[in-house]
Amino acid sequence: MMNRIEEIHKFLEETPNDPFLHYALTMEYVKLEELDTARDLFQKLVDEYGDYVGTYYHFGKLLEKVNEKDYALTIYQKGIEIARSKRNFHALNELQGAYNLASGLDEDDDY
């Protein structure tokens, strides 16, 4: 039985330029706490599929987790620009909230 990562790699062989599949693969590495691999894959997503807005929130969170706060803020800002250009207001609000929290503009109001 194939694991999820093997399954996604198989799909990528069929459709290698599908940004969602690259994103799904990256998120599997996040779940496994393989943060170096996930970081590299997030960077590849930003470099090769910059319009894929789903990348930016989770990449920023990972960067915060590995103490790359300045780069996280840059990633959030880039994601905000992409979300705004695509009129994806849900993503825009999430990214703006993450940016504000990371930059100390908002208090964390999670319970």
pLDDT tens for 1-21 read 569 999 999 999 999 999 999
Q: How many CB atoms lie within 10 A of CB 90?
A: 9
- Residue 107 within a domain: no
- Residue 60 within a domain: yes
pLDDT tens for 30-74 read 999 999 999 999 999 999 999 999 999 999 999 999 999 999 999
Q: How many CB atoms lie within 10 A of CB 25?
A: 21
For residue 98, give the CATH number of its domain: 1.25.40.10
Backbone angles phi, psi at 15, to 5 degrees: -135, 80
Residue in the structure block whose two tokens are 């807005």: 53
The total number of structural domains that make up the chain: 1
Tell me how many degrees the CA angle 73-79-80 measures, rounded to the nearest 5: 90
- Residue 88 within a domain: yes
Q: How far apart are CA 48 and CA 17, in angstroms?
A: 9
pLDDT tens for 70-109 read 999 999 999 999 999 999 999 999 999 999 999 987 665 5
- Residue 108 within a domain: no
Question: Which of the 8 DSSP states describes residue 108?
Answer: -
- Residue 91 within a domain: yes
Does the structure show a pLDDT above 70 at 110?
A: no
| Whether the model pTM is above 0.85 | yes
pLDDT of residue 105: 79
Domain containing 91 equals: 4-102
pLDDT of residue 108: 53
- Residue 110 within a domain: no
